[in-house]
Chains A and B, each alone.
Chain A
Amino acid sequence: MNTNFSRLIGILALAAQAQSARAELKWEQTSVDLRPGFNDKQAVAHFNYENVGNTPVHFKSVHASCGCTTAQTQNEQVAPGQKGEITATFNIGGRTGTQVKTVTVQTDDPDPARSTTVLTLKAVITPLLEIQPALVYWQNGEERKPKVITAKANKDAAIKKLDVASSTPDFTAKVDAGSAPNEFRISVQPRDTSKPVYATLTIKPDSPPNTGNTFAVAARVMPPAPTSGTAVTPSSKAAVSTIRHDLATPAPTAGSPRQ
């Protein structure tokens, strides 16, 4: 009786042991919000983890959603009780606004619900200057009225004035204060709209000093529009003949879209 009982206990203990022999990676957070400054080229997020299981966890793959984000682990293998982090580096490039990038982490955890974790990096990027539109243009022969570009400055940058220069003398640009604080109005005017011209307007803010931050806008006089030849008027005869043709014979593709 006693041996049977103890055998039973032994088996139960073994079963319990087998149950709890699992790996588990616990994440401090799987979503990080960042606000990079207008001068930052990268936004870095740290995702901390800890192995709260009792077997080592091995990273099978760490893979970012786009080429602009790289992710690195400190160690490939995490021992029980060990802590570490995955660092996700998002190269901002020319991106603006709210950017969401993800890093998918695969481990050798036998539980499929836990073997894949998606880490999210959310970055809200406010550029130094928000310029709109990026292109001002006049049609050939259009009246030479000035067109306005609005530049909104990042309020943390304390920009007092903008310097605007055109790459060719065909356009003149004038900067005025805009209707709201931190807003500028750039009026651009062509000298002559009778021939096609392309110029880049370089906008230089006076702050932050010495950063060499410049922005570019395009100004153009368009070439004369090509004469739109075929106005879309089918002869009604064509309509009739097409339909008659198809009702009479089951031949397909009267006018295939593949051209």
Chain B
Amino acid sequence: MKVSAVRQALLLIALAFVPAIGEAIYFRNKISWQSPVPASELVTVDQARSWGDNVIWVDARPDNEFERDHIPGAILLNEDRWTDLLPQLLGQWSPEKKVVVYCSAQSCNASREVAKRLRDEAQLRNVFVLDGGWEEWLRNKR
């Protein structure tokens, strides 16, 4: 009895592959197979890292914090010196890049504000905010 149930189960499992593969082929270009696309503007450290060289890191913290330490390769862009600092980012951005803005921790608002301004004023696409900020980066350092 049990044997036939298992055999039938295996057959069902195998049968189900047929429509599943058909659907996967149909959707093959409509879904990101390697990493989830963020639903909101937030990305985790791992997600951002998986984008490799396509990421431009933007540090939204005050000047002195940036000078003390920052994500390697990050560009400083804070609201205190927005007009001075913006050109540097604009010179590096290109449409296939992804911008990830961070500030000190989850609770600070600066990264969200900078991200919003980049979207509104500079009309950049693919601007994200690092979930957890600098604190989270430090925690995930390898």
Contact = CB atoms under 8 A, between A and B. Distances in A.
Contacts of A132: 120-121, 123
- Residue in A131, A218, A223 with the greatest tally of chain B CB atoms within 10 Å: A218
A200 interface: yes
B105 interface: no
Contacts of A94: 79-84
Contacts of B82: 93-95
B20 to A, nearest CB: 8
Nearest to B91: A198
B83 A259 contact: no
Residue from A131, A228, A240 having most chain B Cβ neighbours under 10 A: A240
A247 B124 CA distance: 43
Interface string B23-47: 0110011011111000000000011
Nearest to B123: A133
A220 B32 contact: no
A39 to B, nearest CB: 14
B21 interface: yes
Contacts of A257: 34-35, 46-47, 50
Contacts of B86: 134, 216, 218
Given A132-B121, A240-B17, A240-B21, A216 B87 contact: yes
A67 B62 contact: yes
A223 B21 contact: no
B122 interface: yes
A239 B79 contact: no
Contacts of B121: 131-134
Interface stretch (A4-12, A75-83, A114-122, A230-238): A230-238
Given A220-B90, A222-B95, A257-B35, A133 B81 contact: no
A134 B122 contact: yes
A216 B21 contact: no
A225 interface: yes
Nearest to B121: A134
Nearest to B17: A240
A233 B26 CA distance: 11
Interface in B39-62: 46-47, 49-50, 52, 62
Interface in A125-183: 131-135, 139
A232 B93 CA distance: 24
A93 B81 contact: yes
Interface string A200-227: 1000000000000001101010110110
Contacts of A218: 86-87, 90-91
A222 B95 CA distance: 9
Interface string B85-105: 011001101111000000000
A223 B91 CA distance: 11
Given A67-B62, A133-B121, A134-B121, 17 more contacts: A93-B79, A93-B81, A94-B79, A133-B122, A135-B93, A135-B124, A222-B94, A226-B96, A232-B29, A232-B32, A234-B24, A236-B25, A239-B21, A239-B24, A247-B13, A257-B46, A258-B46
